[in-house]
Amino acid sequence: MPAKQKLCAQLEEKMSAQDFWDNPDAAKPVVSKLSATKSLIDPVIDIGNKIADLDELFEMAVAENETETLADIETEIADLEKSCVRIELTGTLNGPDDMRSCFFSIHAGAGGTESCDWANMLLRMYTRYFQRNKYEYTEYDITPGEEAGVRSVTLKVDGPFAFGKLSCEVGVHRLVRISPFDSQKRRHTSFAAVDVLPEYDDIDIDLEIDDKDLRLDFYRASGAGGQHVNKTSSAVRITHTPSGIVVQCQNDRSQHRNKAEAMGMLKSKLYHLEQQKRDSELAKLYGNKGEIAWGSQIRSYIFQPYQMIKDHRTNFQKGNVESVMDGDIEEFIESYLRYRAEQKNKT
């Protein structure tokens, strides 16, 4: 707590400078970091205050023999215990990048139209989760499926611990259901992969990219975005030749803005690639995604012949498929945070 409070004071002092808002792009990460830090500090202070209040109330209730008040205190203590568990889980988000915003991608895998539809279902599930948690998200790029759904989509997600929480979802997600595209109503298995990349700011990255190493392609945006977006070549694709990394953005009407956003994504990917080379643990996190097919899934979503969603890493499972597909995935994330913390303690 003292270290977090000191960081909070430093960030607030930086924000109080007269010229702080002169550069909104530089100001935004500071505001995000302050918000994330406060989300750790405030609940701890709040619980401390509530405990002090309950302590006084308890003494009065005992002195006056107020059984009703004692019963209320017991209920409030149970609520405080739940709050303590949530704080403990948030405390596991202590990685160097866990506080950051992130780039969140979904890619359809083996299964053709089925998998494209499944990727679209996952997109809906996660956007509902973002809304539940008041995360802001922006669509950077989307490739529709040939017949239905999406082949791939990339979102920018902003909010406290966006990367830390969503990194729990990295891997292959498997769906088993009666296919709506099969006239014989047979059961099909589909796959889609989720990938998450922390967003780094220029201030955090000491990285120079040679313009000679870049190939820029401009094209018309394929998604819905109004007549202007679709009639002009505002979408930008950047290929970094030495690494083979390709990024693209069609979010904005401005070609210049799309290029700037794509460059930010490219820098984050290159920086992350360098980190992977130095950090075997992080390399494992992203390397275990494997092939987007059978045998590599982290979670299975069974709609038929029974209903169950199970995480194969933690063995946590839920039978309420509808609520999960409506964005209620917090328990899966929490169970994996506990599992990840246990694995770290073992090593």
Domain boundary at 278, 300, 332, which? 278
The pLDDT value given to residue 28: 80
Q: Which position has the higher pLDDT, 14 or 205?
A: 14
Specify the higher pLDDT residue, 181 or 335.
335
pLDDT in tens, 22-70: 988 788 888 888 888 888 899 899 999 999 999 999 999 999 989 999 9
| 25 and 165 belong to one structural domain | no
User: What's the structural domain count of the chain?
Assistant: 3
Query: What whole-number distance in Å separates Cα of residue 262 and Cα of residue 159?
Result: 20
CATH of the domain at 245: 3.30.160.20
User: Would you say residue 252 has pLDDT above 60?
Assistant: yes
CA distance 15 to 20: 6
Long-range contacts of 331-338 (CB under 8 A, 24+ apart): 332/168, 332/299, 333/165, 333/168, 333/169, 334/89, 335/311, 336/168, 336/311, 337/89, 337/92, 337/93, 337/165, 337/168, 338/89, 338/92, 338/314
**H or E segment at 196?**
strand 187-198
Residue 205 is assigned to a structural domain of this protein: no
pLDDT at residue 231 in the model? 58
Report if residue 97 sits inside a domain. Answer: no
Domain boundary among 41, 70, 91: 91
Q: Confidence band (pLDDT; 50, 70, 90) for 204?
A: low
Query: Do 174 and 218 reside in the same domain of the chain?
Result: no
Q: Are 319 and 331 in contact (CB under 8 A)?
A: no
Entry pTM: 0.74
Do 54 and 8 lie in one domain? The reply is yes
pLDDT of residue 78: 92
* 305 preceded by a cis bond (ω within 30 of 0): yes
Asked if residue 284 belongs to a domain, the reply is no
Task: Specify whether 223 is located in the same domain as 193.
Answer: no
Residues 112 and 172 in one domain: yes
| Residue at 259 is within a domain | yes
Domain range for 237 is: 211-278
Per-residue pLDDT, averaged over 298-322, amounts to 95
The predicted-structure confidence for 158-189, as pLDDT tens digits, reads as follows 988 999 999 999 999 999 999 887 777 788 89
In a domain, 87, yes or no: yes
pLDDT confidence of residue 276? 65
Instruction: Mark whether 299 and 252 lie in a shared domain.
Output: no
Q: What is the pLDDT of residues 283-303, one digit of tens each?
A: 454 444 555 665 678 999 999
Structure tokens at 72: 């209320």
pLDDT per position as a tens digit, 112-157: 889 999 999 999 999 999 999 999 999 988 989 888 899 999 999 9
Three-state DSSP class for residue 295: coil
In sequence order, what are the residues at sequence separation of 6 or more whose Cβ sits closer than 8 angstroms to the Cβ of residue 319?
307, 308, 309
Tell me, yes or no, whether 132 and 192 share the same domain.
yes
Do 160 and 301 sit in the same domain of this protein? yes
* Confidence check: pLDDT of 338 > 80: yes
Assess whether pLDDT exceeds 50 at residue 226.
Answer: no
Same-domain status, 239 and 123: no
Answer yes or no: is pLDDT of 325 > 90. Answer: yes
Most confident of 3-7, 199-203, 321-325: 321-325
Backbone angles phi, psi at 111, to 5 degrees: 130, 0
Higher local confidence (pLDDT), 293 or 109: 109
Look at 162-166, 283-287, 312-316, 328-332 and tell me which has the smallest mean pLDDT: 283-287
229 pLDDT band (50/70/90 cuts)? very low
Q: Could you tell me if 296 and 170 lie in one domain?
A: yes
Question: What integer pLDDT is reported at residue 281 of this predicted model?
Answer: 47
Q: 295 and 324, same structural domain?
A: yes
Q: Distances in Å between the alpha carbon of 42 and those of 57, 104, 174?
A: 22, 28, 38
C-beta of residue 143 within 8 angstroms of C-beta of residue 151: yes
CATH number, domain containing residue 335: 3.30.70.1660
Q: Are residues 295 and 181 in the same domain?
A: yes
pLDDT for 235 beyond 60: yes
Check pLDDT > 80 for residue 4: yes
Q: Is residue 203 part of a domain?
A: no
